[in-house]
Amino acid sequence: MKKIILLFVVFVLSCKSEIKNNTNLPGRLGDKDLELKDDPRVDPRITNALKQFELDGYAPGPPVGINSNSSDIMDFLNEAEPQYQGIFADWFKDEVSPDNVETYKTDITGVDGNIISLTISKPIEMESEIPAILHIHGGGMTILTAEDPNYVVWRNNLASKGLFVVGVEFRNVGGKLGDHPFPAGLNDCLSALDWLYKNKKDLGVSKIVISGESGGGNLSLATALKAKDNGKIEQIDGVFAQCPYISNKYGASKNELPSLIENDGYFLNVEMMDVMASMYDGAESKNPYAWPLYANQTLLTGLPPHVITVNELDPLRDEGIEYYRMLLKAEVDVRAITLNGTVHAAEGIFKKFMPELYESVTNQIKEFAYSL
């Protein structure tokens, strides 16, 4: 009897200890009502920048859900696009293009017979062949464009470092470039890759790295997977994916990745990610070309070198880390980088407020490209 009582006391104490420890868990895992501005991990420069747009607290969910009428969801996405573009336009309004870079556009025909606009940013002086970055912009494969100022500045800054940069204006689910669900955007990226590979010599390109953030991170990884499946993996020398949006685990019943709870509402709202995902390829999709986190080891094996960057305070952090681990298991040459104190895609959109972070990541992309 004494032994049973002793075991019960130990059990109660362990439960109390577990409850106490839960309050010390990071972010909203420890406090379900915590807001970004009150999280001790956040870089204050980020919350100061977001405060202007009342995004320094908890980013609210969308007025629609995955079971809403599709036309209502599309209306919401079409309204959301210019709102984000307005924020980026404000933050990048004083940026000027580096004086050692030239830009021009060219149109190609995609595999679906559609016209795809490509924007080329390159050093004015090219004495030898240089690596190319096939840049795929963010926006959850759903909104935003390659011509948004944050992406124009990003490509031009990469080009100023001695890279040949190609921005892809792929088809989106919503916004100005919608209504085109999966696989339209992926097909456009594959078409751009094929064009770049076939014209390497004429363009003065030595290697090809695919790179992008968020939805662009998804499409960067998915393009590599699909290129391998198509027998064209030799077209890609490396992949540099930033904060990739790749799990389709954003519904409340599916978000077993801790960061989806821990960082929900920190600049990104997970429910909104779920709505966007449902319009891309369906709420229940596990297609690895739409959601690379579902790729099996056979598909991953033999991929070129990868770099995966994630943001500490991003709901999407853990899916990027999990994909890194999957690549390791498949014996792919891969490296992971966590940007501490930052929210989703901070390295690309907070240039005005965190110039050293911006410079660091653009340098990492250059160094990766030249190392291949």
Q: How confident is the model at residue 24, as a pLDDT?
A: 86
Total count of domains within the chain: 1
The answer to whether residue 248 scores a pLDDT higher than 60 is yes
- On the CB side of 341, how many CA atoms lie within 13 Å of its CA? 10
CB 318 within 8 A of CB 270: no
pLDDT tens profile 113-144? 999 999 999 999 998 999 999 999 999 999 99
Instruction: Give the mean pLDDT of 210-225.
Output: 98
Rounded to a whole number of angstroms, the distance between the first and last alpha carbons of the chain is 68
Instruction: For the beta carbon of residue 90, count every other beta carbon within 10 angstroms.
Output: 14
In this prediction, residue 7 carries a pLDDT of 41
Q: Is residue 42 part of a domain?
A: no
How far is the CA of 219 from the CAs of 5, 69, 341, in angstroms? 58, 26, 25
Is 144 within 8 Å of 138 (Cβ atoms)?
A: yes
Tell me, what's the pLDDT at 22? 64
In this prediction, residue 19 carries a pLDDT of 38
Token match 């390659």: residue? 146
Rounded to whole angstroms, the Cα distance separating 178 from 187 reads 14
**Residue 75 located in a structural domain:** no
Residue with tokens 């160094």: 367
| pLDDT of res. 127 | 86
Strand order in the sheet with 130-136: 101-109, 115-123, 164-169, 130-136, 205-213, 238-242, 306-311, 334-339
Residue 199 covered by a domain:
yes
Please report whether residue 74 resides in a domain.
Answer: no
How does the average pLDDT of the chain come out, rounded?
A: 93
pLDDT, position 5: 39
Q: What is the pLDDT of residues 252-298, one digit of tens each?
A: 777 689 999 999 999 999 999 999 999 999 989 999 999 999 999 99
Question: What does the alpha-carbon distance between residue 2 and residue 24 come to, in Å, rounded to a whole number?
Answer: 34
Does residue 26 belong to any structural domain of this protein? no
Mean pLDDT of 138-165: 98
In this predicted structure, the answer to whether residue 84 has a pLDDT above a threshold of 80 is: yes
Q: With bands split at pLDDT 50, 70 and 90, how would you rate the model's confidence at 150?
A: very high
**pLDDT at residue number 253:** 75
Residue-range definition of the domain harbouring residue 90:
80-371
By percentage, how much of the chain surpasses pLDDT 70? 94
What pairs with residue 134 in β-bridges? 166, 210
29: in domain: no
Q: Which residue has the higher pLDDT, 17 or 197?
A: 197
pLDDT (0 to 100) of residue 15: 41
Say what the pLDDT of residue 254 is. 73
Residue 348 banded pLDDT, cuts 50, 70, 90: very high
Alpha carbon distance 251, 224 (integer Å): 27
Query: How does pLDDT run across 170-188, given as a tens digit for each residue?
Result: 999 999 999 999 999 999 9
Q: Tell me if 362 is assigned to some domain.
A: yes
Contact 292, 222 (CB under 8 A): yes
Q: Give the whole-angstrom CA distance, residue 243 versus residue 267.
A: 13
pLDDT at 2: 42
Indicate which CATH number applies to the domain containing 102.
3.40.50.1820
Residue 103 domain-assigned (yes or no): yes
pTM of the full structure: 0.93
**94 has a pLDDT exceeding 70:** yes
Identity at 201, one-letter amino acid code: K
Q: What is the dihedral of CA 96, 311, 137, 204, to 10 degrees?
A: 70
Per-residue pLDDT, 23: 65
